[in-house]
Amino acid sequence: MNEMIFFIQMSTIIAFAFGARKLGRGALTAWVAIQALIANLFVVKQITLLGFEVTASDAFVIGSLVGLNFLQEYFGQEEAKKATWVCFFFMFFFAVVSQIHLLYQPSLYDTTQAAFVQILSLSPRLFLASMSVFFIVQQIDVRFFAFLKSRFPGWGFAARAAIALVVSQFLDTFLFSFAGLYGMVASILDIIVVSFAVKLVVIFLMTPLLRWAKE
């Protein structure tokens, strides 16, 4: 059941990315930032996918990078770079206001405070690791996609995007595992291998959708 839901989720992300592309540069920039916020919020939910225990946010991380690749493909590298800073700015804003929100004392009639505390009270180490690594990976993805575009102009968008995603997701998995999880899990190598394997499956399944979205 989770696998079917996951495919629907990926199809929805690609369809909305295509819609953002049609709406133009501003919509794509907003799309990149929204995907990043969703990814960092949904990362707290664990699911079983393809027999592995993973988070529910990997598709949104990849979706944000797909948005960057669309932005670069149609509007240039400088716009993609600008989008990474816009994304970081709003991620930082969300981090600040979410902690301010937790400071409010709930009324006697409130029933949501416990849920907000559980979702928004991530450890500072995990949050800083997630935000920093995501920003670094975005910067690398923009530059590597530009390199592929200039070095291999005959390659289609889907092929270039897939290769850039494989490289960026390996770096994302490796850097976050060490920055956020080292010393907290039994085997950091198992975490890296399993997480990256799942992301490869996501990229493999997304590539045909990217080819369709580019046409």
The upper half-sphere exposure of residue 129, i.e. CA atoms within 13 Å in the direction of its Cβ, equals: 18
DSSP string, 1-62: -HHHHHHHHHHHHHHHHHHHHHH-HHHHHHHHHHHHHHHHHHTT-EEEETTEEEES-HHHHH
> Looking at residue 123, what is its pLDDT?
56
pLDDT of 209 reads: 66
CATH number at residue 142: 1.10.1760
Threshold 0.95, pTM exceeds: no
pLDDT in the model for residue 3: 83
Domain that holds residue 59: 2-214
Structural domain count, the chain? 1
Q: Once rounded to an integer, what is the mean pLDDT over residues 43-66?
A: 77
Please tell me the predicted confidence (pLDDT) of residue 104.
92
Structure-block tokens of residue 26: 């501003």
The number of angstroms, rounded, from the C-alpha of 75 to the middle of its chain's C-alpha atoms is 21
